[in-house]
Amino acid sequence: MFEPKSEFLYSCKQFERNLNKLREEGQQGHIVFSMEAASSINSLTRVRALPNQRIDLATVDESARLTANAIRHLMSQVKDMNDKK
């Protein structure tokens, strides 16, 4: 049977984890965006947190979602490469 190579987002909690991880990595300076990524930056700055510090999913647009998922995927690829060394 066909097995997908990438992970699938199974829940909102996992999606929120990806957005929070992206925020943490950006605050620590591990991720830097170029000026060509202005639309992604604008989308990410519009994401808001609820009073309980969870992500308000109504403020997440397609660009922010794609950016968070792509960064998570790239980070897992880098981790895999480092583990093989």
Q: What is the pLDDT of residues 68-85, one digit of tens each?
A: 988 888 888 888 788 876
| Residues sharing a CB contact under 8 Å with residue 14, sequence separation 6 or more, in sequence order | none
Which residue from 74, 46, 60 is spatially nearest to 16, judged by alpha carbons? 60
Domain boundaries, the chain: 12-84
- The pLDDT tens digits of the residues spanning 10-49 come to 678 888 988 999 999 889 988 888 888 888 889 999 999 9
**Spatial separation of the C-alpha atoms in residues 36 and 14, rounded to whole Å:** 28
What is the rounded distance in angstroms from the CA atom of residue 37 to the CA atom of residue 57?
22
Write down the residue that tokens 């992500």 correspond to. 55
Give the span between the Cα atoms of 10 and 30, in whole angstroms. Answer: 26
pLDDT of residue 3: 59
Q: Residue 52 has what pLDDT?
A: 93
